[in-house]
Amino acid sequence: MSKPTYIAAIDIGTQSIIGAIAQKLPNKTIQIMGVEEVSTRTGAVTEGKVKDVNSILYEIKTMCKKLTNKTNIPINKLYVFSSHLTLDNNYKEWEVLLASVNGKRKESMTLLSMPNLLTPKADIFLTPAEQNNGCLFIDMGAGTTSYILRTKGNDDIKGMVNMGGYLISNDLTYKGLSFNHAEKLKKKLGYAQAKKIEFPNKRVSLNPHGPFDINQSISLQELSTMIEERVNDTARKFLAKLIREGHLSSEGCKIVLSGGACKLKYLADWYAEKTHLEVRIADAINIINNDELSLSCNQPKYHTLLSMLMNATDDCRVEKSSTWTKIFPKGKIDDALDNAIGTLF
């Protein structure tokens, strides 16, 4: 009986870093053995680009320790993904830096890149009918929005814009909100279509800890209007051209949304109204095991991580020989040389 394959992977996002260890099962699904999530430090990742490597590596090392303690599965090989970081050379440099995080020089684990995830994600989350009839798959992150259009008999059309859910929250900070409060308001009370608001004149405080003040508040109508304007700005960067060139006019064409930012209320309705196409949120139910922990990861914000786990091949437990040159203690160098010469003769 073959040994089970365990995959360790970490998705580095603008707002959060998510990691997991999963077992690849014979029925072409994955079982999540352990998952961890932390908030990305402010400014560490901007528009999908890693700006503060040391901060990210610290979180990676901490997350790997937590995953190993939780699952009792050692991590010697780790898949790492960030939308603008896909070259192996970057990860080779990271291995050296990772070994010296916290000022302790220890052997680093092998970091493996997972480039070009957009196509594998579309392969996983689109149904056979959507693959054949044409479908626009939109992956909406905090810092970037990527898309891939499957067309009948033609090559895929791909693209990315450096705009995402992060910008919506950032817009709200101009009203005097802290970023964290803006995030909470966006997720709880924000709508992608302002006309869907049941009580548009209801006001919420801009100061979450102080008394309500009409001069320091915002109406739900104003809140959602700001959000809808940013949604429109982001989609217009790619949607207008696709519509103008007739790429979304084929019979049966649909839109599938993925990524953490796609959970904005009535966002699917907004896309349906603009394109006159059927729109749905991607679902990972066909690729995850039917256990409680795995099912809990069937959320759009985990879809990139699930794609990594599905497409990865290297077992995280594979031992890695040390990349560091062994240093002999003082006084032992001559003995070591004598022993080496002795074996030659």
CA distances from residue 316 to 25, 201, 221 in whole angstroms, order as listed: 15, 54, 49
Contact (Cβ atoms closer than 8 angstroms) between residue 125 and residue 255: no
Contact (Cβ atoms closer than 8 angstroms) between residue 147 and residue 136: yes
The pLDDT-based confidence of 339 (bands split at 50, 70, 90) is very low
| pLDDT above 90 for 36 | yes
Contact (Cβ atoms closer than 8 angstroms) between residue 48 and residue 14: yes
Structure tokens at 342: 């002795």
Residue extent(s) of CATH 3.30.420.40 domains in the chain: 5-115+287-311, 127-281
pLDDT confidence of residue 172: 79
Contact (Cβ atoms closer than 8 angstroms) between residue 20 and residue 28: no
Domain 5-115+287-311 in CATH 3.40.250.10:
no
User: Which runs of consecutive H residues, i.e. helices, occur in 7-116?
Assistant: 53-71, 88-99
CB neighbour class for 213 (10 Å; exposed up to 12, middle 13-18, buried from 19):
exposed
Least confident of 40-44, 187-191, 335-339: 335-339
The pLDDT-based confidence of 308 (bands split at 50, 70, 90) is very high
β-bridge partners, 278: 254
- Give the C-alpha separation, 328 to 345, whole Å: 23
Q: Rounded to an integer, what is the distance from CA 108 to the centroid of its chain?
A: 23
Query: Which of the pair, 297 or 213, is modelled with greater confidence?
Result: 297
| pLDDT above 70 for 22 | yes
| pLDDT above 50 for 330 | no
Contact (Cβ atoms closer than 8 angstroms) between residue 153 and residue 26: no
User: Which runs of consecutive H residues, i.e. helices, occur in 29-110?
Assistant: 53-71, 88-99
- Give the C-alpha separation, 228 to 177, whole Å: 18
Rounded mean pLDDT of the chain?
A: 82
- Give the C-alpha separation, 338 to 110, whole Å: 34
Beta-sheet pairing, 278-281 with 254-258: parallel
Residues 6+ away with beta carbon under 8 Å from 212: 205
Question: Cα angle vertex 128, ends 127, 130, to 5°?
Answer: 65
The pTM score is: 0.82
User: Which residue has 């050692």 as its token pair?
Assistant: 74
The pLDDT-based confidence of 204 (bands split at 50, 70, 90) is confident
- Give the C-alpha separation, 88 to 94, whole Å: 10
| pLDDT above 70 for 282 | yes
Query: For the packed helices 179-189 and 220-244, what is the interaxial angle rounded to 10 degrees?
Result: 80
Beta-sheet pairing, 16-24 with 254-258: unpaired
Domain 127-281 top-level CATH class:
alpha beta
pLDDT in tens, 98-129: 776 655 555 677 888 777 788 889 999 999 88
The pLDDT-based confidence of 211 (bands split at 50, 70, 90) is low
- CB-CB neighbours of 205 under 10 Å: 17
Contact (Cβ atoms closer than 8 angstroms) between residue 111 and residue 91: yes
Beta-sheet pairing, 135-140 with 254-258: parallel
Query: Which of the pair, 24 or 110, is modelled with greater confidence?
Result: 24
- Give the C-alpha separation, 190 to 149, whole Å: 28
- Burial state string for 46-81 with b = 16 or more CB within 10 A and e = fewer than 16: bbbebeeeebbbbbbbbbbeebbeebebbbbbbbbb
Question: Cα angle vertex 157, ends 115, 286, to 5°?
Answer: 60
Structure tokens at 148: 């891939």
